[in-house]
A and B are shown apart, each in its own frame.
Chain A
Amino acid sequence: DTAVSQTPKYLVTQMGNDKSIKCEQNLGHDTMYWYKQDSKKFLKIMFSYNNKELIINETVPNRFSPKSPDKAHLNLHINSLELGDSAVYFCASSQGSGSPGELFFGEGSRLTVL
C-alpha cells in the first residue's frame, strides 16, 4: 500500500488554466505538507495543515489554494497558471504537531506549464 499518494503524476497544461493536484495519506498522520521543487532541485515548503487546520502558509501567490477536507487528504488547486509554476510538487505527511519529525513524501506531481 502506498503511504502517501499523489495524483496526477504528470500534468501538462497551458498558461492561464486552472489545475488541481490531490494527495492522500494512509499513515494516520496529523500533519500534511505541500513542497515545491524547482528545476535546480531546490525544495521549498508552501503549506502545512494539522488536522485540517492551516498552520504554515509561506509566501505563496494566492493563486495557490490548499484544501484539506479531512486529515488524510490535502489537495492543491492552482488558478491562472504561469510559466514559473512549472515544477515538481510534493505532498508529505508527518506524525503529531509542532516541530516535525520524519516526513513521508509522495512520488511527486510534475507540472509543466506551456
Chain B
Amino acid sequence: SQQGEEDPQALSIQEGENATMNCSYKTSINNLQWYRQNSGRGLVHLILIRSNEREKHSGRLRVTLDTSKKSSSLLITASRAADTASYFCAHSSTNDYKLSFGAGTTVTVRA
C-alpha cells in the first residue's frame, strides 16, 4: 500500500500547549502536504513541503521533512480550542499522479 501512517492516532492537550504529530511514508515523493479536517467538514490544506525542503513555517505551524527517514512532522504551537480537528498528511509519489493520505491524527485541545 502507498498509504502513509500517522502517529499518534489521537492527541489530547491543554490550550496553550504544543501539539506534535508524525507521518511516515514508503515511496519517493515530490511533495508532502498536511490537511486539517474539522468534524463533519471537508479537508483544508495547511502546508505543502517539497522533497528538496527540510522545514517550512506557516503562522503557528511548523512542518519538517526528512526524506532519508521518509517521515514528516507537524508542530502546532500555542494551541487553541479551535485547533481541535483531525490532521492528515498526504504525499505525492514520484511515480504517479495521486495524493495518498495517511490515517490522520485526531487532536483535541482542552480549554
Residues of A participating in the B interface, judged by any CB pair closer than 8 Å: 4, 33, 35, 40-45, 48, 55-56, 58, 90, 92, 97-108
Contacts and interface: CB of A to CB of B under 8 A. Distances in A.
Given A4-B42, A100-B97, 17 more contacts: A42-B3, A44-B101, A45-B99, A48-B97, A56-B96, A58-B98, A99-B30, A99-B97, A101-B31, A103-B43, A103-B90, A103-B99, A104-B45, A105-B35, A105-B44, A106-B42, A108-B42
Contacts of B103: 40-42
A41 B104 contact: yes
A41 B86 contact: yes
9 contacts: A41-B86, A44-B101, A56-B96, A92-B43, A99-B30, A99-B94, A101-B31, A103-B43, A103-B99
Contact of A90 (B42, B48, B86, B106): B42
In which size bucket is the chain B interface?
Answer: 20 to 34
B42 A98 contact: no
Contacts of B44: 105
Given A41-B103, A99-B31, A100-B92, A56 B41 contact: no
A100 B42 contact: no
A101 B100 CA distance: 12
Contacts of A97: 97
